[in-house]
A and B are shown apart, each in its own frame.
Chain A
Amino acid sequence: MDALTQFFAAIAHFTTPLFLFHVAWATLLGILVGSLPGLTATMGVALLTTLTYTLDKDAAILVLICMYVGAIYGGSRSAILLNIPGTPASAATSLDGFPLAQRGQAGYAMALATAGSAMGTIVGIALLVLLAPALAAIALDFGSFEFFWLAVFGIVISGQLTGGVSPLKGYIAGILGLMVAMIGSEGIHAHIRFNLGFSELNGGIALIPAMVGAFGFAEVLTVMLRKKPVMSAKELKEDRILPKLADLWKYKRTIGRSGIIGTLVGIIPGVGEDIGAWASYAASKRSSKERKEYGTGSKEGLIAAETGNSAVVPGALIPALTLAVPGSAPAAVLIAALFIHGVRPGPMIMIEQPDFIYSVAAMLFFATLAITIYGLSLTRVFILVLRIPREFLMPVVFTLCVIGPFALTQRIFDIWVMVGFGLVGFVLRKMNYPMAPLVLGIILGSLLDKSLRRGLTLSNGSLEPFFLRPISAMFVAVILLSIILSLPVVQKAVARWIDRLMPAGKRGEEDQ
């Protein structure tokens, strides 16, 4: 009850003309960024962070959260109309959204995507309000030993789930991120490591230039490498752009389940919206009576994917706020932005700023309202936006990539860092190395390093507390299990075991 009161108090706090104006423009900008292939939510949040220095704390965080929610939702536009996900989070949306558009139901597909996104975020907000304070309370018992394993857990799980068919590449990306974090002054003795003779590296590699490079410049290069997309010829033949309530009621279980799955995926460090969408889509398909329609224009599939990816947003903010461990790449940038604006995310947040979590929930609520209004009223405008030629758009994006990191520290060196990360990020992407573990590694490197050395100092060099304290032991068990299950030999053995357990007839049904 107390949580609900605080949530409504936060809603009242943000119901002012100025805050509502910020919600309106930032969400609209987010939808535009998300709907344009090549511009991702992470890049949008990173670039906008550089534009929010002069705003006060509440307005700045509100703007960034609206951008985040808007961009994740906006990705569905191009997924439905171009069969190209505007952001990776909308990859599952294109499976059923594009076939619907080809049947002349693009407007209705976008209406369903809007409804799914709105409801997914609402489910996520409810879970954020319920779970975040509890998680923060648990995290108060974390010491150096637990934080060490939490950081390892984040890298391992993120690497495994985002690495696709090769978790090894996910692990490597995570380790490379941790190695980047080793550059510059370390956090215990202030000793400068690996600066290679450049005094500019004494402070380490800043997150914002690295993120803008890996997600901005690399995206510009990726877009220019692709041939121009072709819009669905049958777009918007049908006029209906409002979802039918009967359809939403029919798929209420799918919406609830996808919302919960999305939020839980969001809580797992560094996993992100795309995995949330795929997990929700797979779970929905498995339990659906209409599973044969999946991939050919299933409304249920479309709702599951969109609900799942949007629910990840509040979910990703749960560990970001309570543990300072991001649940997704955009949440990683948000953590950096929180520090810039004087908010210290972590276990102490419920003690230092007990109302902040409810403020974030209220910000998410306003962003959800805005995507619903825009989604249902501006469908045709968004289609026009998709027609902006990339030749006009990409140089502007890159110009912002250059000036944004510079604006933070006024150092030309940060522009070079951005370019370096952009080129390396592009090559890694081409070789199927996921970016999320790399980013998570950069964020968690300092925590991992300080926790390991502080823990060893506290235990006088003994490794016992790292393995015998209850929460640490639990983390160790989960990490070991994850690594073992990612080994091809073990995966084959498990598949054989499942084959033996499941009769052939049942298997055939599942495959359909």
Chain B
Amino acid sequence: MRLAVPRGRPRAWLVLAVACLGLALLLTSAMRDGLTYWGTPSEVAAAGPPHDDVRLGGLVVPGTLTEEAAGSSFVLTDGATDVTVHYAGALPATVREGEGAVVEGRLDGHVLHARAVLLRHSNEYRPPEETP
């Protein structure tokens, strides 16, 4: 299938227009929402009750992760404030205790009903430890 792509100067103008439009969209969205992808539990708690969904980042507290078919939960911390995260269903395999996670959802006091749970892995790389 061949699309009727303009050639020569019209194509160069089209490419320039698309690139500039894309840059303008990125810039306006960055100005509107900022480039900070997530807030810490303390920051979000200090900001008062949120109207919309929030995105929180922190560490999964070891020993708090429970996974069941009906729903999973864990405690996310930034060291000062803890938030209990509830997620309907099984967590992605990449979410682990002691690792970073970013969760997106509705915050209700210190409980977050997550729509999405993402792993935020560290910048350390090492082979798996030998098990004797």
Q: Are A and B subunits of one complex? A: no
Residues of B within 8 A of A (CB): none
